Amino acid sequence: MARADQALDPAQDTDLFKDTEHLVRLVVLIVVALVAFVVLRTAVVPKSFGQYGHYRGAAVGEAAARPIAFAGRDACEACHTDIVEQKKQGKHVVIACEACHGPLAKHADDPSSVTPPKLDTAILCARCHEANSAKPKGFPQVATGDHSGGIACDTCHQPHRPKIETSTNETKAEAKAETPKKTEGKK
């Protein structure tokens, strides 16, 4: 190396250059390769790579920009205030609208053109309330076959306020008479 350094120094005798051509070639090759690498790298690596860490920073924004499917409870309650009032009187007040009605962000954006599908209470209620020994003991559960005999749940229960009210005691009594000893409630 000492020799190469001397050779590159212009103050030295020019005769020293006669054996250094191979070194100059090597240096030129290295520089060309380096430039090619830098050019390629800037072309290939996205600008935001390394913004936050060893990944493409723009990917964070892209993940955040996706459209939503569930509008969220607040969006529903902004319009359906009558349902909110109903729900407040029952235990289902804690449940978000879209837990039963499904994803309705499109309906929230354009209520007139997208209408929510009609729900089948026989399937929907059973998903939560069908008896299962793994469910918490305090949770209201029924064996739907025994409890209603296949009748749709909303025949007796109003889903937004599921408890059968005292004002409709007669209906309740009738329902009980129809299915004696089967409405055991918790299991």
Partner 1 sequence: MDLTRRRLLVLLPAAAVAWKYVLAGTPEASPNYRLTEHWWSMLIDIPKCIGCGSCVRACAEENDVPEGNYRTWIERYHVSDWRIERPEVESPNGGIQGFPPNEESGGKNFFVPKLCNHCADSPCTQVCPVGATFVTPDGVVLVDKTYCLGCRYCVQACPYGCRFINAKTNTAEKCSLCYHRITKGLTTACCEVCPTGARQLADLKNPKDPIHEFLRTHSVQVLKPHMATGAKVFYNGMDGSVR
- Answer yes or no whether residue 76 interacts with partner 1 by CB under 8 A: no
Query: 87: exposed, middle or buried (C-beta count within 10 Å: 0-12, 13-18, 19+)?
Result: buried
If the CB atoms of residues 42 and 133 are measured against partner 1, the closer one turns out to be 133
Q: Contact between 2 and partner 1 (CB under 8 A)?
A: no
111 binds partner 1 (CB under 8 A): no
**HSE of 172 in the Cβ direction (CA atoms, 13 Å)?**
11
Min. distance of Cβ 38 from partner 1 in angstroms? Answer: 20
Q: Which of 94, 118, 150, 185 binds partner 1 (CB under 8 A)?
A: 94
Contact set with partner 1 (CB under 8 A): 49, 52-56, 59-60, 62-70, 72-73, 94-96, 98-99, 102-103, 126-128, 130-136, 139
